[in-house]
Structure 1
Amino acid sequence: MAGPVVSRRREVSGGSARSLLTTLLGEYVLPSAAPVWTSTLVDVLALFDVEEKAARQALARTAAEGWLRSDRVGRRVRWTLTEPGRRLLAEGASRIYGFGSGSREWDGQWLVVLVSVPESMRDLRHKLRTRLSWAGFGTPTAGVWITPHPAAEADAKLILDELDLSSQAMSFLAGYGALGSERSMVTSAWDLADVGARYQRFIDEFRDLSPATPDEVLRAQAMLVHEWRRFPFLDPQLPAALLPPKWTGTTATALFNDLHVRWRGPAQERWSELAAE
C-alpha cells in the first residue's frame, strides 16, 4: 500500500472534512503523541459543522492513505499517527510556522529553468506546471520557469527527474538584463494580486476575532492554522524588492504569529480536556 502523501489540492482547498481533520491532527494530535478517540475527533469536527457521518468517512479515508492506524479498546476505537504520518505532519508544521518569517534580502540572482513540453502532451504539461508552481517557480512565458531562490534548483531537478524531463531541460543563474522590466516579468510569472487578496481576506477574517469560550478558542486556533496552511503553496516568497508596496503578506504573517501564540495554550488545554473524556 502506498504511504501518505501531501496533496496540494487538499492544502489549498476549502474546509473539507479530510482537510480539517489533517489540521487537527497536526495541531493537536502530533504534539501530544497520544492516541485519540474517534468520539473526540467527531465531537471536535462538529465544531466546524462537520456531520458525524462525514467525520467518520474522513477518518477512514485518512487511515486508508496511511496517516493513521486504529485499535479497539472495548467498544471504543482510538487512533494513532503512523510513523510516515507523523513525519509528514511534522514537516508540515515546520513549513506552516516558519512560513513568511524569513529574511527577504536578495542578491539579484535568478534561477532560470528552460523546459518545454509539446502541447499534445497535456497531462505531462499539467503535472509540470502544477509541481513547479508548488515549488515556488513562476513562468513569465512558455517553457521558461524562474525563481529568485537558487536553492530551489534541487527541487526542480527532483521534479524533472520524476517526470523524465531532465535530459531536455537547461538551468542557469543570471541577473536581470537591460531589456524590458524586471517587475513586468514578475507580474507575468506570478499572480501576486490574487495572493495579496487572499492575504487580505485572511486579515479580515481573523483581525477582530475574539473567541470567548474554550470551544470557541479551540475552533479559532484550528481555523487560524487551517487557513494559514494554504499560503506556503500560494505565495512564492519573493524578495521585498519585488513585492508590491504595502504587501498584505507582511501584515498577515504578523497577525498569524500573534494570534497563534495567544490562542495556542488555551486551545491545547481544551483539546486535552476533550481527549480525556
Structure 2
Amino acid sequence: MSSASLAEVAAPVVRLKTRSIVFDVFGSYIRYKGGAVAIGDMASILSWFGVTEDATRVTMSRMRREGWFTSRRHGRNSYYELSDRAWTLLQQGRRRIFDRNRDAWRGEWHILLLKHDANTAVERERTRRELAWRGYVPLAASTWIGARDETDGLRETLVEGVHLQGFAARTPFSQDDREFAAQHWDLGELVDDYRSFLRRYESLATEATLATLSDEEVLVRRTVITHEYRMFPFRDPDLPSDLLPNDWPGYEAHGLFLHIVEALKDRSWAAFDRVCDRPTPASNRTDASLTVA
C-alpha cells in the first residue's frame, strides 16, 4: 500500500498518529496472540497505513521507554510485549468501548475529592483524562462528579500520589438530574457527532463495499473505525438513559460500530495472520478469559 492508502480507505480522512495505530493493532489483534509481536511484523502491518519502518521502530522504542512494552530478543528477532500496565489499559478500555453500560440508575451521583501530591503537569493531565474516560466531569479543580462509582478502577490506574475520597449524593427531583447532566456535559455536540458517525459508516459493512477491498484495506478500515469510535468514551460519560435526551443516537452508533467490527473481523484477521504467522516466544502473560473482538 502507498502512503496515500489511509486517505483512500477512510472517508472522510481520519489521520491516525503512529502510536494510536500501534495501540489499536495491539488491542484488536496482538493481545489475542499472547501480547507479543516481532518488530518486523509490526512494521509490515503499519506500512499499510503509510508508516515507514523507521517511524515504527522509533515509536515502539519510545513507547517501551514510557512503560507500555517490554522488549526481548528470540533468535534473530526482536519482540515487543505488552507490559502489565498496557494489559490493564487494554482490558479496561475494551469494556468501556464494547460493553456500554445499560444498568438501571440508582439515582445517586458519585462525587470524588482528589488530593494531589507533587505531580507534574503531565501526570495531572493523565489524571484528568482517566477521570473523563470513566465518565466524570469537574465541578472544581479537585472535585469531580459522575453518575456511577468508578473508584475501584481508578485506584488501579491513577498515577502514584493521587488520593481519592468518594461519596454519593442525590438531588430532590429527577428533572434536576437531567438538567444537571445537560449543563455539565455537552450532550448536544455528542448528538451531532454520533449522527455524523452514523452517516459516514452506515454503508461500510455492505457486501458491495467489501468486495472492492483487499484484506489489508479491510484491516485498515476496521482500525480507523475502531480508533474513531474509541474517542467517544473520552467525551461521552455513558450516562443512564434517565439522564439522556430523547432519541439518543449513541445507542444506534454503538450498535453500528459493533456490527461493522464483526462484519470486518474475518478478513482483517486473515490479513493479520498472513504477516504474523511465525510462532512467538512463550509469553509471561496469558489470559484465557479474552474473547477475540
Band the TM-score falls in, shorter-chain normalisation:
0.7 to 0.9
Question: For 2:120 and 2:276, how far apart are their aligned partners in 1?
Answer: 48
Q: How many residues align?
A: 254
* 1:73 is the counterpart of 2:71: no
Question: For 1:87 and 1:122, how far apart are their aligned partners in 2?
Answer: 23
Match of 1:198 in 2: 193
Match of 2:146 in 1: 147
Partner of 1:69, secondary structure, is: strand
* 1:269 is the counterpart of 2:267: no
Match of 1:137 in 2: 136
Deviation at 1:204, TM superposition (A): 3.1
TM-score by length of structure 1 reads 0.75
Match of 2:3 in 1: none
Deviation at 1:155, TM superposition (A): 5.6
Name whichever of 13-22 and 126-135 sits farther off: 126-135
Q: List per-residue Cα deviations over 1:131-156 (Å, max 9, x = no partner).
A: 5333312245777532221x335467
Deviation at 1:272, TM superposition (A): 0.4
Change (3 A) 1:194 1:145: same
Partner of 2:43, secondary structure, is: helix
**Cα pair 1:35 1:78 within 8 Å, conserved:** yes
Partner of 1:48, secondary structure, is: coil
Question: For 2:21 and 2:125, how far apart are their aligned partners in 1?
Answer: 27
Change (3 A) 1:189 1:143: farther
Question: For 1:116 and 1:60, how far apart are their aligned partners in 2?
Answer: 33
TM-score by length of structure 2 reads 0.71
The residue type paired with residue 198 of structure 2 is I
* 1:174 is the counterpart of 2:141: no
Consecutive unaligned residues of structure 2, counting only runs of 5 or more, are: 1-13, 279-293
Question: For 2:39 and 2:83, how far apart are their aligned partners in 1?
Answer: 16
Question: For 1:84 and 1:125, how far apart are their aligned partners in 2?
Answer: 18
The residue type paired with residue 260 of structure 1 is V
Matched ranges for 1:1-277 at <5 A: 15-33=16-34, 35-66=36-67, 67-71=69-73, 73-74=75-76, 76-98=77-99, 100=100, 102-113=101-112, 129-139=128-138, 145-149=144-148, 151-154=149-152, 162-164=161-163, 171-177=166-172, 181-209=176-204, 210-211=209-210, 212-276=213-277
Partner of 1:59, secondary structure, is: helix
Higher helix share: 1
Deviation at 1:52, TM superposition (A): 2.7
Alpha-carbon RMSD: 3.5
Change (3 A) 1:253 1:147: same
